[in-house]
Amino acid sequence: MTFKRPLPQLSRRGFFKLGAGLAAAAAGAYAVPRALIRPAVAQAPAVRTVPDQHLVATDGWISIPGPQLPADARPENAFHPDPYAPAGLSTYMFGFTDVSDITRGRGRFATWSPQERTDYINSQKMQALHTAPWVGVDQEADFWLKLTNLGLAMRPDLTDAHTVHWHGFKNAIPMFDGEPHSSMGVSIGSELMYYYKPHDPGTYMYHCHVEETEHIHMGMTGVAYVRALQNRGSADPLFQARYPGVTGIPAGRYAYNDLVSPSDPRSTRYDREYLLIFTEVWAYMHWCDAHIQLVDWTDYKADFYLINGRAYPDTLLPNGDPHDPANQGTRLQYQPHSALIQANAGERVLLRVVNLGFKPITVTLPGLKMRAVGRDASPLRGLTAGGLRAGADLSQRTNALAMGSGETWDVIVEAPAAAAPTRTDDLNRGYQPYLLYNRNLQQATNGDLDGSYGGQMTEMRVYPAGTLGPQTDANQLV
Ligand SMILES: [Cu+2]
């Protein structure tokens, strides 16, 4: 039996009425408040040959510790650690590494010749990091990001391009979107300079958009975050041009352009900032990519859960520089990002929490209050008549961040000002620890309740006031 619905018949009179309605709608478009219309790039920026940041796409190996799982538990458990893995490492990855210091000639690379730098960058094949390097940008700044594709050392048969796609982000032109079918991909041996000019502060995810289910799960995903214009203070001319008449805000560190004084309860001011990136690893799938096997994605079953690419207690270890010869050959060489959170008593800490896995997570921090001030790069404030998100306070006090795949939350935690941190605790650590973890214990422990290694868990450590010097960059430990 066919099921037909008659098409609406449009009379001559109806046709003219429709035309009049469309014309009115078009005229109405001009009535949109000017504040809602974002200026495009007013004039083309000068093209740079030296990028602000330079990422290299390739493959590599990381270390997920834990006991050899019994082979009869589940078939895929026999695939960890991968027998192809170099000593101390366990899991095959795709990903990116960051060669900005080499390209820009910073630090010990300042005296290197152009040829030495090029040779070094080409040597980064099979040196991918997990999680992917993160990208921090100032609002309204011109930002040039170069992507070089070195190919996959383990899989020369895979000739995939790679891209950088800032998810949920308005681009200057579609060319820089990174969705390869409507823009372009970067094929092996090629490089592309992406241009961004961010207008909206907050926390975003980025990922490679080629074969994205596979490339994202294999590690080609990270975080891009945009620092608020308000950091310059309300007297800054660029801030005044955007927010005329707003006064009384000193330069500082703010999650969003909240347009209120730092003493206002709606303020998003913070003293320290930490990115916490939650990912997961399906060991069998990673084994398949290393061993030239196809996987059926409907069998998806994550085995390992990580924060900033590490399993607890590796999450507590310091940051590492993968280009420092002292770190080369160490177990965490390719997992350089610490997930440790530090604060002095009374300080405000911004947590940029991002779920880059495929499964939901619920993040909790018992003993401390969290206030979510932004979600998915949108401040939790109502709209004002001028079209700004500076209206009613919609921030949420919560003890649990329930996050779907791809979500980002900006959360401010206040370290307690008194009591515990003013003394050393009974273990004489000199700080008061608070556990931050995924409330799903399978994900917090990597299923190893009796073992020494867990999964998505880290600590926030609160020191007596004045112990720690100021932090100048995200996740910097002092
Ligand atoms: Cu890719």
pLDDT tens profile 140-171? 999 999 999 999 999 999 999 999 999 988 88
Residue type (1 letter), 286: H
Q: Would residue 196 count as lying in a domain?
A: yes
73-100 mean pLDDT: 84
Q: Would residue 19 count as lying in a domain?
A: no
Q: Would residue 355 count as lying in a domain?
A: yes
**How far, in Å, from the CA of 207 to the mean position of ligand 1?**
8
Spatial contact of 239 and 232, defined as CB atoms under 8 Å apart: yes
Q: Which residue has the tokens 């060669």?
A: 99
**How far, in Å, from the CA of 258 to the mean position of ligand 1?**
36
Is 50 exceeded by the pLDDT of residue 1? no
Residues 279 and 359: their CA atoms lie apart, in Å, by: 9
Beta strands in 174-261 (DSSP E): 191-196, 202-207, 221-227
**How far, in Å, from the CA of 41 to the mean position of ligand 1?**
28
What's the pLDDT at 77? 55
Q: What is the pLDDT of residues 385-404, one digit of tens each?
A: 888 899 999 999 999 999 99
Q: What residues form DSSP beta bridges with 137?
A: 226
Structural domain span for residue 240: 53-463
Cα torsion angle, 244, 249, 253, 258, sign: negative
Predicted TM-score (pTM) of the model is 0.88
Residues 437 and 375: their CA atoms lie apart, in Å, by: 19
Cα torsion angle, 279, 290, 145, 115, sign: positive
What's the pLDDT at 73? 54
What's the pLDDT at 27? 40
Categorize the per-residue pLDDT at 430 as very low, low, confident or very high, splitting at 50, 70 and 90.
confident
Tokens of 278: 């939650």
Residues 223 and 123: their CA atoms lie apart, in Å, by: 25
**How far, in Å, from the CA of 442 to the mean position of ligand 1?**
29
Per residue in 155-193, is it b (16+ CB within 10 Å) or e — as a string?
A: beeeebbbbbbbbebebbeeebbbebeebbbbebeebbe
Is 70 exceeded by the pLDDT of residue 448? yes
**How far, in Å, from the CA of 177 to the mean position of ligand 1?**
14
**How far, in Å, from the CA of 212 to the mean position of ligand 1?**
7
Percentage of the residues of the chain whose pLDDT score is greater than 90: 72
Element (H, E) at 19: helix 12-29
Spatial contact of 199 and 170, defined as CB atoms under 8 Å apart: yes
**How far, in Å, from the CA of 170 to the mean position of ligand 1?**
21
**How far, in Å, from the CA of 299 to the mean position of ligand 1?**
22
**How far, in Å, from the CA of 57 to the mean position of ligand 1?**
7
Q: 52-61, 225-234, 364-373, 450-459: which has the minimum mean pLDDT?
A: 450-459
**How far, in Å, from the CA of 332 to the mean position of ligand 1?**
23
For the chain, the maximum distance between any two Cα atoms, rounded to a whole number of angstroms, is 86
Q: Would residue 283 count as lying in a domain?
A: yes
**How far, in Å, from the CA of 370 to the mean position of ligand 1?**
35
- Number of structural domains the chain divides into: 1
Categorize the per-residue pLDDT at 10 as very low, low, confident or very high, splitting at 50, 70 and 90.
very low
**How far, in Å, from the CA of 199 to the mean position of ligand 1?**
26
Is 90 exceeded by the pLDDT of residue 339? yes
**How far, in Å, from the CA of 163 to the mean position of ligand 1?**
6
**How far, in Å, from the CA of 154 to the mean position of ligand 1?**
14
Categorize the per-residue pLDDT at 45 as very low, low, confident or very high, splitting at 50, 70 and 90.
confident
**How far, in Å, from the CA of 129 to the mean position of ligand 1?**
14
Q: Would residue 8 count as lying in a domain?
A: no
Question: What's the order of all strands across the beta sheet hosting 202-207?
Answer: 135-138, 221-227, 202-207, 165-166
Which one, of 185, 100, 183, lies nearest residue 144 by Cα? 100
What's the pLDDT at 458? 97
Element (H, E) at 283: helix 283-290
**How far, in Å, from the CA of 160 to the mean position of ligand 1?**
7
Q: 181-190, 231-240, 416-425: which has the minimum mean pLDDT?
A: 416-425
Q: Look over the chain and give the mean of its residue pLDDT values, rounded to a whole number.
A: 87
What's the pLDDT at 470? 96
**How far, in Å, from the CA of 100 to the mean position of ligand 1?**
19
Q: Would residue 361 count as lying in a domain?
A: yes
**How far, in Å, from the CA of 218 to the mean position of ligand 1?**
9
**How far, in Å, from the CA of 289 to the mean position of ligand 1?**
13
Q: Would residue 408 count as lying in a domain?
A: yes
**How far, in Å, from the CA of 260 to the mean position of ligand 1?**
41
Spatial contact of 98 and 109, defined as CB atoms under 8 Å apart: no
**How far, in Å, from the CA of 130 to the mean position of ligand 1?**
14
Is 60 exceeded by the pLDDT of residue 54? yes
**How far, in Å, from the CA of 208 to the mean position of ligand 1?**
5
**How far, in Å, from the CA of 180 to the mean position of ligand 1?**
10
Question: In three state form, how does the secondary structure of 131-155 look?
Answer: CCCCEEEECCCCEEEEEEECCCCCC
Spatial neighbors of 44 by CB under 8 A, at least 6 apart, are none
Is 70 exceeded by the pLDDT of residue 18? no
Spatial neighbors of 237 by CB under 8 A, at least 6 apart, are none
Spatial contact of 143 and 196, defined as CB atoms under 8 Å apart: yes
The HSE-up count of residue 416 (CA atoms within 13 Å, CB side) is: 17
Which one, of 397, 402, 394, 400, lies nearest residue 412 by Cα? 397
CATH number of the domain encompassing residue 338: 2.60.40.420
Residue type (1 letter), 179: E
Q: Would residue 33 count as lying in a domain?
A: no
Residues 306 and 304: their CA atoms lie apart, in Å, by: 7
**How far, in Å, from the CA of 214 to the mean position of ligand 1?**
8
What's the pLDDT at 43? 64
